[in-house]
Structure 1
């Protein structure tokens, strides 16, 4: 997967859980991504992946498996 595809994948994953995480966390991620981009960081970097994975973990904790029950 090339860097652009990887970055789009991360964006899609974050978008998918955005409604399931606290607004404060979403705002923090947005700020961190903006700072990362301004400093020249790649949106396909491991740093971005870790932010997405943390958001996914929080969404899973907040949903408590409710998606599986529907």
Structure 2
């Protein structure tokens, strides 16, 4: 992955990642998601779903996440 992307959020709950992703994209922040969970053994919950934004959008994205998840 390019160094232009920074992980700003991670969880095992896909619905939370999608909520945060929608929030950021509604503010014109491009996002990228990597799902590291094991799709064959979902009951193990051994992975994380990571949300990335471009480097220049990190501060704005973190502010929106803090504001939006309160």
Fold similarity call, TM over 0.5 = no
TM-score grouping bracket, smaller chain normalisation: 0.3 to 0.5
Select the structure with the greater relative contact order (CA < 8 A; seq sep ≥ 6): 1
Pick the structure with more helix per residue. Answer: 1
Pick the structure with more strand per residue. Answer: 2
Normalising by structure 2, we get a TM-score of 0.36
